[in-house]
Amino acid sequence: MNYVEPIRNLDTLENMCSYLKKTNSLKRKENRETKIHRDKPNNEKSN
């Protein structure tokens, strides 16, 4: 019984890792888009 828990934990850890990787890539994409949006008004102001 003791050996089952770590395996289960490992599994959830792997799942969390893959989930985090997905969300990280999503966040990066969002950041890129918001950065572009942020840059536009700044450029307009300077002009």
| pLDDT(38) > 60 | yes
Q: Where are the alpha helices (DSSP H) in the chain?
A: 4-46
Q: What is the rounded distance in angstroms from the CA atom of residue 5 to the CA atom of residue 18? A: 20
pLDDT given at position 19? 87
Q: What is the rounded distance in angstroms from the CA atom of residue 42 to the CA atom of residue 47? A: 9
- Which pLDDT band holds residue 12 (cuts at 50, 70, 90)? confident
Mean pLDDT of all residues in the chain? 75
| Residue 23 in tokens | 């969300």
HSE on the CB side for 25, CA within 13 Å?
5
Q: What is the rounded distance in angstroms from the CA atom of residue 35 to the CA atom of residue 27? A: 12
| pLDDT(25) > 80 | yes
